[in-house]
Structure 1
Amino acid sequence: MSRRQQALDAAIRVLGTHGARRLTHRAVDAEAGLPAGSASNYFRTREALVEAVLGRLIALEQQAWAEVATDLGESGPIDADAFAAALGELLRDLTGRRRVITLARLAVFVEAAVQPVLRTGISDVRADLEKQGTEWLRRLGSRDPVHDLWGLMALLDGQLINQCTTPDPAFDPEPAIRTFLRGIVR
C-alpha cells in the first residue's frame, strides 16, 4: 500500500472515530504512523484531503454495492426476500465491520453541504447508483423504479444513521426493507 493510500485510510479512520473537526494533516500522519508532514505533501489543503477522502470512500462504497450486485445476479427477476437479505447483510456490515467508514461517509456528506466540489463527486455516484438501483427495482417489479429507489435509499440511510448513533445489538434491518420492497410491487 502506498503512503498516499495509507494517509487516505488513516483520514477515514480519523473522520470515523473523531469527527470532521479532528481531521487535520497532523492527525492523519499520527493515525497512519507516517512522518510529520507526509499527509500535507499529498494533500496541500484540508479541502484537498477531504476531496481525496471522498474519492476513497466512493471506491469503497462501489465495492460494497458490487457485492450486492453479485448476490442479485445479472438478470432475471429479483425476489423481495433475497433483495432484503442482500441489503440487510450490507447494512449489518456497514454498521459493524465497516462502521468507521460509514461514519466517515456521513462526515464527508456534512462537509459537502458547504463545499460544492464535494457535491459534484456525490452527484456522480448518485447517478451511477440510480442506474444500477433502478434496474434492480425494475427486475423486482416496481412500477416506478426511480422514485422507489430514492425511497429505499432514504430507508437504508435512516437505518444506517440510527444504528451508528444508537447501536442496537439486536439490529435487524431486513424486516423494514422487506416490507418496503413488498409494498412497491403490490
Structure 2
Amino acid sequence: MLGRKAQVLAAAVRVLGGQGTRALTHRAVDSEGGLPAGTTSNYFRSRDALLSGILGYLLEQETSAFASLAGAPRPVSVDELAARLGALLRELAGPARTLTLARHAIFLEAAHRESLRVELLTWSETLWAWGGEWLTALGSREPVAHVRQVLAFADGLLMDRLARGGEGEFAPEEPLAALLGALLEG
C-alpha cells in the first residue's frame, strides 16, 4: 500500500493502538497523520470503512512478518519453534507494541462486526495452514487444531504482557515449549 492512503492507515493504527477504539475518529487520524482535515473521510467514509481499512492494513503487515517466518527453514525441534515464537512475541510486545494493541482492538471489534470477522477468519486460515505445516514436520497428528491452540496461547501471553506489564525480561519460550511438547506427545 503506497501513498496517502497508507499514511492515513498508519496514522489510524497509531491512534487505535495508542489511545484505543474510543479515540478513533476521522479527525483524530487526520491530526495524528499531520493530514489536511477531511483526508481520512475521503478514503474511508464511515467508521466501519475505516475499521475495515485498518484490519486490511494490519493483516498486510502481519502477512509480511509471517511470510518471512514461513519462508525460513522449518524448525527441527520444539525448542527451536518456541524460540522463534518467543522472539516474535517479544517484538510484538516491544517495538511493535502499538501495532499489536491496534490488532487486539480490531479483533475485539470483529466480535461485533460480521464483515471484520469474515476477513479475519479468511486470513487466519492462511496462518493456520503455515503453522500447521511446521507442526506436521514436528510430528503433530492434528496440526491445524494444534496451531490454533498455540496461537491462542501465544496471544494470551502477549495480551498479559501488554495489559499487565511485568518485571524483567519477557521470556515466553519456556511456556510455549511446554505447550508444544504436550500437544505433540498427546
Query: Shorter chain as normaliser: what TM range?
Result: over 0.9
TM-score (norm 1): 0.94
The offset of 1:110, in angstroms, is 1.1
1:182 aligns with 2:181: yes
Instruction: Give 2:156's aligned amino acid.
Output: G
TM-score (norm 2): 0.94
Deviations along 1:4-42, one digit per CA (max 9) or x if unpaired, are: 101100000000010001100000000000011110011
Mapped to 2, the partners of 1:136 and 1:52 lie a distance apart of 30
Q: For residue 76 of structure 2, what is the aligned residue in structure 1?
A: 78
Identify which range, 144-153 or 80-89, moves more after superposition.
Answer: 144-153
Deviations along 1:120-151, one digit per CA (max 9) or x if unpaired, are: 11010111011111111001111211221111
Q: For residue 153 of structure 1, what is the aligned residue in structure 2?
A: 151
Q: For residue 90 of structure 2, what is the aligned residue in structure 1?
A: 92
The offset of 1:60, in angstroms, is 0.8
Q: Secondary structure at the match of 1:185?
A: helix
Gaps of 5+ in 2: none
The offset of 1:181, in angstroms, is 1.5
Identify which range, 22-31 or 1-10, moves more after superposition.
Answer: 1-10
Mapped to 1, the partners of 2:71 and 2:144 lie a distance apart of 21
Following TM superposition, the consecutive aligned residue runs of length 4 or more in structure 1 with deviations greater than 3 angstroms are: none
Mapped to 2, the partners of 1:147 and 1:113 lie a distance apart of 21
Q: Secondary structure at the match of 1:97?
A: coil
Q: For residue 33 of structure 2, what is the aligned residue in structure 1?
A: 32
The offset of 1:68, in angstroms, is 2.2
Structure 1 counterpart of 2:136, from 131, 135, 138: 138
**Identical columns (%):** 44
Mapped to 2, the partners of 1:95 and 1:28 lie a distance apart of 23
Aligned CA RMSD, in angstroms, stands at 1.3
The offset of 1:167, in angstroms, is 1.5
Query: What pairs up with 1:118-137 in 2 under 5 angstroms?
Result: 118-137=116-135
Mapped to 2, the partners of 1:58 and 1:123 lie a distance apart of 11
Aligned residues of 1:68 and 1:87 also touching (Cα < 8 A): no
